[in-house]
Homo-oligomer: A and B are copies of this chain.
Amino acid sequence: MAASILELNSEIALKADVFRDSPRDQALPLIRTGKLLKIDRGDIVFLQDESAHSLFIVLDGWVKLNRVSSSGVESVVSILGREELLGMVCAMTGEVYPTNAEAVSDLRLLQIEADAVQQAMRDNAKLCHSFLEASVRRNKVLVKQIEQIKSHSGAQRIAGFLRGLCRVDCGSCSVDLPFDKALIASWLGVKPETLSRVFKRLQPYGVDVSKNHATISSVERLTRFIEGDMPPARRDAPLNTQG
């Protein structure tokens, strides 16, 4: 049963968040209006404040959403992978994109015109409701992220990121970092140097990161660290005692 490329892509797209509660026969026609895009690492998908002409579904690869403040500082708002949506909600209502989107790996996207999205929503109240739900979910993610930044230290956020990669709640676990460390740092709102130092500080908690691979010997211990049981970083007792 060799499905066509188009069908394969449609299947991936169907799994996306927005369509989670939409009947398949309503979502699929919309998805089929989409065009396949291949984008190279480093290329821009869209720019902040550009009018939202399309919605994109990530078929493969990673995209970062970032904003550049007036003083030129970049901050990464989120990083999206397979089955996730870009410009989701903006395209629905014909607004401008609130962020830039840049490919951080080679990328395959499904591009769906905003007009088609809006048309589908008008024709179909259920779809509109699904979009609303997706938007609400995204909202929650953002609220949580704000809480994260405000009430956790950099080290805690980094540990939280690692825990999020684990597919288990307890015991040990071994995972690949999904993208390079500079990007992880930027996402978590710290500098690469800090990320590197924190990884080292997590060693006594059973965390070992080398290259793009992390081993967590006890997810519970990591969780305890995140929840604030965190002895201050001691400079007077360096890890490397032979100096």
A: residues with CB less than 8 A from B are 67, 69-77, 89-90, 92-93, 95, 98-99, 121-122, 125, 128-129, 131-133, 135-136, 138-140, 142-147, 149-152, 189, 227-228
Q: Is the CB of A146 within 8 A of B145?
A: yes
How often does this chain occur in the complex, in copies? 2
Q: For residue A152, which residues in chain B have a CB less than 8 angstroms away from its CB?
A: 69, 73
Q: Is the CB of A77 within 8 A of B146?
A: yes
Query: Chain A binding site: helix, strand, loop or mixed by DSSP?
Result: helix
Q: For residue A227, which residues in chain B have a CB less than 8 angstroms away from its CB?
A: 70-71
With beta carbons under 8 angstroms apart, the residue of B90, B136, B228 that contacts A93 is B136
How far apart are the CA atoms of A145 and B131 in the complex, in Å? Answer: 23
Q: Is the CB of B93 within 8 A of A147?
A: no
With beta carbons under 8 angstroms apart, the residue of B69, B125, B228 that contacts A71 is B228
With beta carbons under 8 angstroms apart, the residue of B89, B128, B138, B143 that contacts A125 is B128
With A150-B75, A151-B74 given, is the CB distance from A89 to B143 under 8 Å? no
Specify which of A73, A125, A131 lies most central, judged by the most chain B CB atoms within 10 Å of its CB.
Answer: A125
Nearest B residue to A148 by beta-carbon distance?
B69
Q: For residue A131, which residues in chain B have a CB less than 8 angstroms away from its CB?
A: 132
With beta carbons under 8 angstroms apart, the residue of B74, B128, B139, B149 that contacts A146 is B149
Nearest B residue to A92 by beta-carbon distance?
B132
How far apart are the CA atoms of A146 and B149 in the complex, in Å? Answer: 8
Q: Is the CB of A98 within 8 A of B140?
A: yes
